[in-house]
Chains A and B, each alone.
Chain A
Amino acid sequence: MLQNLFTDGLVIGSVYALVSVGMTVILGVLGQINFAHGEYYMAGAFAAWWAIDRLGLSYMASIPLTILIVGILSLAIGYAVMQRLVDVSFDAGIIATLGVSLLLQNTATLIFGGTYQIFDGGWLEPMRVFGEDIAQQRVLIFLVTLVVFGALEWLVRKSTFGKQMRAVSQNVECCHVLGVDVRRVVLITFILGTTLAALSGVMTAPITINIYGAMGEAITLKSFAVIVMGGMGSIGGTLVAGWVLGIMESLVAAYVGLQFRDAVAFALLVMVLMWRPSGFFSTKARY
């Protein structure tokens, strides 16, 4: 039982981590919280549903198509909205991204209707892992998350683009002086972050089954809690914070009550802000 809860939590936590890391890299480079982040998760789930249900594609084929569709969507939004948020006040960023959130949610509701859609896809056959039966899809989510985080660490630490990302997050003015195309860095980072949310959406939809226009809201708020716990900008921290949240939710749902599950993120957020406001991994704790 306990082991079961633990693996469940780890898989859901991987989903949270995969969504949140996009939010954290966008925050790092742009200095803005993307309050529409969950909407790209939703868009990913709907793009895949549309590809499977309407185009008759396989689940496998729907994944790259989803990335492409959400990539184009975030290219447009990145160009029209996010690039303009460099060097503007934090409030302007909140208003702008909340506006994008409303726009995307309502567009999805207009196109796909206000009711739940059933997502029919994915690999749900059980497989045996450490003496436990787990759906293949869940194992896949966990493995994809590990690969994505490894690749992101490498990208940020080693590649030239990663250096530019870090430079922009440290000192935009210095980047302007040296000729860094800050808006290009912002745009690429934004597309990267949102397509990771979309990937998470398409990977998770086979498990959650029901998809609907407002499904991103809770994800946005939980992602916010995760990136604060992870230390706002730390990639490894985000992964661990995602896992902690997933496992805590799973335990609370089983032992305290299902209705308390969605409160866990906020309870953890409050506790972190009280005791370790710089996140789990910071050396700075508040006593």
Chain B
Amino acid sequence: MTAETQAALSLRGVRKSFGPVIAVAGIDLDIAAGKICGLIGPNGSGKSTLFDCCTGLVRPTAGQVLAGTTDITGWEMARIAREERLLRSFQKAVVFRALTAEENLILAGQMTAFRSLAATFSLGPLAHRRVQALRARAGELLERVGLAHMRHSKAGEMSFGQQKLLQFASMLMPEPRTILLDEPFAGINPVLIERIVENIRAVNREQGVTFVIVEHNIDVLSDLSHRLVVLSRGSILADGNPEDVIRDPRVVEAYLAG
């Protein structure tokens, strides 16, 4: 890392303990902008807590989290999403179940769109044009994730895998800079996994969106990622090129022992 500006997300000595339990034991990590970074580790190694520290769900006991050059330590998740365009998904699918696929996406585009009070109660043709633009973009994204045929279906009626695809698409509506995915392939059939993988690659390549992905499916992840980081007991065990990392004897041992 030559300059600060090249890191989309930086952790500086991030520690998190829950009482006597140390979940994250002082991690330093720079995620390069425009790259896909995989994060693996046995259960209880601190992956999810690290994600929570980055996205404001828990406050680190010590250390700093930076998005670009902005110190976001202690910010709330919504503010991080709104101001730094750093979004995060969960293992479960978080969507508006009562709304259609298209409505979900339009809503996602409107959530952060208007900042001023006047624009909040937006009036007239300007607002209408804006909704038209969002609808067009929603259509493109649904096409992209292969849900175009379900445009008018309620999210709650979709399969789990489709809901995850929809959630992925709605995270792209606010034009994110960085996306953190928490087990995007868990509970999803291989065909849909392939589709999500293709989409992550395409979004990364075309829009330069940085991805950090926590996943247990090491084969898929090491194939997708530019870099693989292995956590064990709250610390970084290995870090580097995916092919090298998965052959590292310490990593193999940690997984077998874990």
A178 touches B113 (CB 8 A): no
A155 sits at the interface (CB 8 A): yes
Interchain CA distance A163-B88 in the complex, whole Å: 22
User: Which residues of B line the A interface, CB within 8 A?
Assistant: 76-82, 87-90, 94-99, 107-108, 110-114, 119-123, 127, 170-171, 174
Q: How many residues of A contact B (CB 8 A)?
A: 20
Given contacts A160-B121, A163-B107, contact A179 B95 (CB under 8 A): no
B108 touches A159 (CB 8 A): no
A170 sits at the interface (CB 8 A): yes
Partner of A160, one of B88, B98, B99, B113: B113
0/1 string, A166-202, CB within 8 A of B gives 1: 0100110111111111100000100000000000000
| Residue ID in chain A nearest B103 by CB atoms | A163
Interchain CA distance A170-B99 in the complex, whole Å: 9
A164 sits at the interface (CB 8 A): yes
Which 9 pairs, one residue from A and one from B, show the smallest C-beta to C-beta distance? A179-B81, A179-B82, A178-B111, A180-B111, A161-B120, A179-B112, A176-B77, A176-B78, A174-B94
A175 touches B122 (CB 8 A): no
B94 touches A170 (CB 8 A): no
Given contacts A159-B120, A167-B96, A170-B96, contact A181 B79 (CB under 8 A): yes
B110 touches A179 (CB 8 A): no
B122 touches A182 (CB 8 A): no
Interchain CA distance A91-B164 in the complex, whole Å: 34
B112 touches A178 (CB 8 A): yes
| Residue ID in chain B nearest A159 by CB atoms | B121
Interchain CA distance A174-B78 in the complex, whole Å: 10
Question: With contacts A171-B94, A179-B79 known, what are 16 further pairs, Cβ within 8 A?
Answer: A160-B110, A160-B119, A160-B122, A163-B110, A167-B111, A174-B94, A174-B95, A176-B81, A177-B77, A177-B87, A177-B88, A178-B112, A178-B171, A179-B78, A179-B111, A181-B79
